[in-house]
Structure 1
Amino acid sequence: MTILWLKALHVSFMVAWFAGIFYLPRLFVNHAESDEPKVIEQLKGMEKRLLYFITPFALLTVLFGSALIYQYGYAWFVAAKWLHVKITLVLALIIYHGYCFKLLKTFQADQNTRSGKFYRIFNEVPVLILFAVIILAYLKPF
């Protein structure tokens, strides 16, 4: 597979992953602020389906990103300092994604104690990561 195909697939799955990882905390906001049993049950289903739907996109993003690194080679990887920062941010996003599973479990058990405000702030984390990753990937500042 050519590098251009790997890049296209990497970016496509990244966009799909981020779309879901932006929307999931918004569902958490609504869930945290709702007192309606029917709404809460509907949100539980939406949250679970969304998280399980976007998880393969996360895995494919990492897979195609790793394939790109492999194609460019070890010497390029060592020299690309910007990429080391990007990988660190991707690892942080993977931890964030994993934490969403914990939050999902908490909501599913009706044990959430956090406010909608917490989830609004929580929702900003992937936005900041995305901005940083795009700047690193396109400007390669290091």
Structure 2
Amino acid sequence: MVLYERMIEDFGQRGDNMADRRQLLVEMRAQDLDSIRLSTYRTACKLRFVQKKCNLHLVDIWNVIEAFRENGVNAMDLGDELPAARLEAVLSTIFYQLNKRMPTTHQIAVEQSAGLLLNFLLASYNPEGQGKMSVFVVKMALGTICGGKILDKLR
């Protein structure tokens, strides 16, 4: 396990390898969240960990929808494939817009947050490494994991 974590640190500069894609999963294992007995609590804790690590707890559903509109994802069919480069553009838009709303003392690292979230999404929803995700999966994942009120998400 320690060797695997060291590999991730060694290859941290390249965003294209599988070690980068699994970085968040390895960090999650280090938190020992699997020791939580009830599966619903365990899942909630893991999602909250991802949300906090990627700074998505600061983003509400309206900002996600706005980023989809800016990048033309709202006009795409739900069955269409979204390439990783375009997904990265959507995520960067989300975090750049977040930085515009945050005070200068609380700015986040946009590239780090977008890269970490991109790698997590690709590792979770694209395990075969095609570099594409369906529009439906992207909308569902970002809508679920972003911050905000549940009533706003269900509209």
Do they fold alike, i.e. is TM over 0.5?
no
Point out the structure with the larger helix share. 1
Instruction: Tell me the TM-score normalised to structure 1 length.
Output: 0.30
Question: What is the TM-score normalised by the length of structure 2?
Answer: 0.28
> Which of structures 1 and 2 has the larger relative contact order (alpha carbons within 8 angstroms, sep 6+)?
1
